[in-house]
Amino acid sequence: MERILQYAITVLLLVSCSTNSKVKHESDMAFHRDVPFIQEYHEGFVIDEDIRASNDVRAILPDNDDNIWIATRHGVFMKKPGHRAWHLMIEGERRGPAYDVKMDDHGKIWVACWDGVYTNAGGKLGKSAGPKAPVARIVTAKEGIYALGPKGIWLRQGNSWEKKHYTKARSIRAAISDRNRGLWIGTDVGLYHCSDERSIVYNKNEDLISAYVKGLDYDGSGNLWAGGLGGVSIRNDKAKVGEKRPKDGITSSEVNVVTKSPDGTMWVGTNYGITRFTPGKEAYSVRLSRRWLMSDEVRDIGFDKKGNAWIATANGVSAIKKREMTLAQKADYYYKLLIQRHVRDPWIVGRFRLAIPGDTTTIEPDDDDNDGEYTAMYLAMESLRYAVTKSPEAKERAEKAFDFLHYLREVTEIDGFFARTIVPVSWNRTHDMNRTYTPRELADELVNNPRHKPVEIRWHVSKDGKWKWKGDTSSDELCGHLFGYYWYYNLVADDLEKKRVANHFCKIVDHLIRNDFCLTGVDGKPTKWGVWSPKSLNEDPEWSPEKALNSLEILSFLKFAYKISGDEKYEKAYLMLIQDEGYIRNAKLLHHTNPAWETYFDIYLALYVYPPLIRYEQNAAIKSEFRAHLDEWFLKYKETKSPLVNFTYNYLGGGNDGLDHSIFFLQDAPLDLVDWQFDNGRREDLHVVREPILETRQVDELRPPSEYRKIRWDRNPYAAIAGNPAQERDPVYWLLPYWMGRYLELIR
């Protein structure tokens, strides 16, 4: 059962839409009207950088004035609205561990501390004489204020405290009013219901999942949720009527707190994140990792007047806030960050490094093997943006991106060979520094991979001495370039620029033809991955894993070169590979490949090369082969719910397949661009498997984008453990499908 908490997704259906491959008339299509939805985002707070105990937060309370109160191991703190500083509210000899903080119906604050109960008067906290210390919990009720601790329970009515002689365990972990002059109390040995008439303990197997109870609250139906070891037991006044265990969505069997939000959603805080249950829905959502929480160990949850969640964790305070946004507003937000933070000279778009992991103020430029490919993705995005908006800015920036890709070929001074990326010559540190191999190291490499190519000089200085360029260019780089060129050529380039694109791309393809369909570098030999030669793909068994995809790729390169140049030599080479070397037959193996050879990256390498094959092929028989290949690709991978997969298929085949999933992805994707690490393998609601892609450990259920790492489209969203908080990812992964959806008028 798919279990993804759906936010408000408005999809306007004009009429039922069939899924045939013909382009449909507008009146027969469904599209998404871009109305506001709820966007969540995270703000984290460190209470004191120097005193670790201050960040050990036990309880949290937003008051009526939007002040935030917290009880910590180091004392009681308060933060004023709009500020980040936290003020210690009990100082001197009285300062010490605090355990709970509550507000009564009159807006008065009550705090449970190591030495008793404190309450506020005149802006300060003063001690309230009566309850014996230490006090573990405060309960506010119609009848008064309860103070509970290992030495007893007291009720304050008026100005005096009365000790209640309830029979209960001393290990008080949670407490709540029963709304009828009594208390529900969670302890290490069961759930107690205490009143002046009697005390009853519930700790039998039929009463609770386990006797260890740490969190209590009522749901919208008046049922009591008791969280503790094993999950949540749901009770009415008489018996247990339901459960929430890991199989139902609880991320950890160690539940610490249960809280109902103003909209009725039940938030369950555990030792490994938060699970949220919406009334009437089987779906649930999870908030986990530093993207959402200062620590995955959640102690308490409170809500302010706007419905924002304030969360006490073992390492500070988290606020999960919400705002209304449209997709257009989200696109503007991402685009501003993209231009401000993810472009380096001479217009390279990609990830940047964070010198201090997670600290976005320490951002620094970085190089990547795939700078060319991902700048080409940006080129495609700007081209689609220009097609929709006719913005001169989009056109200008698309031209800058193409200029960079064009320069990658020029800088090598090898006719038709292009570099992976360039960096300023002043950079002393890059990925994959130049190196040498000893005979022993080379032997090890060759035994491990007989196709290994020992590239010792990876970086070369440009003729003008301004740049260092990286060689050993791979097949995926050219696939990505092709995707960018396709959209730029068709949507942006004028006649003069079309000639420039044709000249540039045809020089690359000429290089491939001259070198038996291989990218050949400075050493005169094929690069490690840039091989499409029939001698390798059809005759060398070591190239079996790449045979299907690389066959498809080279056909697309040749078809695009023929379309934009009109030169018959490209069509001749294209037909030769089909008729003499069986490259279409090879390509059909892609969706039936051996599991050992399948990678998630291959989904998108195929996506990059489909457009020229589907759009430009005129031979009906050949085109039907490619269309069948596309249909099989989509059928196999639509379960990834990727808007880029869906919209590419919609573009090439018509229709609106997967529109609801595409919109959900675009709405649910987090605003934060840090590549926070997610260990979904530790979640008890999921299981670690080797499916759908055998290459890596994965979880058995596709979670929404807010619950896994900040992706590039070539990464596996099922991965059990992924992420690197020392980098900030660019938002092109989101902007590209968004503008494609706009271009197709599936988003309006």
* DSSP letter for each residue of 163-194: EE-----S-EEEEEE-SSS-EEEEETTEEEEE
Calpha distance 728→710 (Å, rounded): 9
602-615 pLDDT, tens digit per residue, is 999 999 999 999 99
Provide the pairing of β-strand 57-62 with 68-72: antiparallel
Q: What is the pLDDT of residue 655?
A: 93
Average pLDDT over residues 329-355: 97
Asked if pLDDT for residue 549 goes beyond 60, the answer is: yes
Q: What is the pLDDT of residue 564?
A: 98
18 pLDDT exceeds 50? no
Q: Is the pLDDT of residue 723 over 90?
A: yes
User: pLDDT by residue (tens digit) across 103-150?
Assistant: 999 999 999 999 999 999 777 899 999 999 999 999 999 999 999 999
What average pLDDT does the structure give for the chain?
A: 94
Q: What is residue 16's predicted lDDT score, i.e. its pLDDT?
A: 32
- pLDDT greater than 60 at residue 343: yes
Question: What tens digit of pLDDT does each residue of 668-685 get?
Answer: 999 999 999 999 999 999
DSSP 253: S
Structural domains for the chain: 342-421+476-743 (1.50.10)
Distance of CA 430 to the CA centre of its chain: 27
- Could you tell me the CA-to-CA distances from 325 to 322, 332, 658, 737 in Å, in that order? 9, 11, 22, 18
Q: Which tokens hold the place of 157?
A: 């009515």
pLDDT-wise least confident of 69-73, 336-340, 443-447, 649-653: 443-447
Question: What is the spatial distance between Cα 29 and Cα 676, in angstroms, rounded to a whole number?
Answer: 38
Q: What is the percent of the chain with per-residue pLDDT over 90, rounded to a whole number?
A: 90
What is the arithmetic mean of pLDDT over 404-433? 96
* CB 311, CB 301: distance < 8 Å: yes
| 209 close to 245: Cβ distance less than 8 angstroms | yes
d(CA 567, CA 571): 8
Residue owning tokens 């997610």:
678
Distance (Å, whole) CA 191 – CA 204: 10
pLDDT band at 350 (very low <50, low <70, confident <90, very high): very high
Distance from chain centroid for Cα 627: 32
Q: How confident is the model at residue 26 (pLDDT cuts 50, 70, 90)?
A: very low
Q: What is the pLDDT of residue 1?
A: 38
Residue 15: both structure tokens together: 């009429």
The answer, yes or no, to whether residue 5 has pLDDT greater than 50, is no
pLDDT for the residue numbered 10? 34
* Residue 2's pLDDT band (cuts 50, 70, 90): very low
Q: What is the pLDDT of residue 24?
A: 39
Distance CA 304, CA 501 (A): 56
Q: CA-to-CA distance for 526 and 748, rounded, in angstroms?
A: 46
Query: Comparing C-alpha atoms, which of 210, 193, 213 is closest to residue 201?
Result: 193
**Per-residue pLDDT averaged across 332-339, rounded?**
98
pLDDT given at position 178: 96
The yes-or-no verdict on residue 20 having pLDDT over 70 is no
| CA 573 from centroid of its chain's CA atoms | 42
- Would you state the pLDDT for residue 714? 84
Contact 602, 567 (CB under 8 A): no
**Tens digits of per-residue pLDDT, 559-596?**
999 999 999 999 999 999 999 999 999 999 999 999 99
Condensed to tens digits (0 to 9), the pLDDT of residues 468-514 reads 999 999 999 999 999 999 999 999 999 999 999 999 999 999 999 99
| Spatial distance between the Cα atoms of 555 and 315, rounded to a whole number of angstroms | 55
**CB-CB neighbours of 79 under 10 Å:** 20
> What does the pLDDT read at residue 12?
32
Please check whether residue 616 is in contact with residue 559, taking contact to mean a CB–CB distance below 8 angstroms.
yes
Cβ atoms of residues 351 and 375 within 8 Å: no
Can you point out the beta strands (E) in 246-296? Answer: 255-260, 266-270, 273-277, 284-287
Smallest CA-to-CA distance from 288 within 723, 745, 746 is with 723
CA count, 13 A, side-chain hemisphere, 585: 10
Confidence of residue 29 (pLDDT cuts 50, 70, 90): low
Specify the higher pLDDT residue, 245 or 715. 245
Task: Assign 3-class secondary structure to 644-661.
Answer: HHHHHHHHHHCCCCCHHH
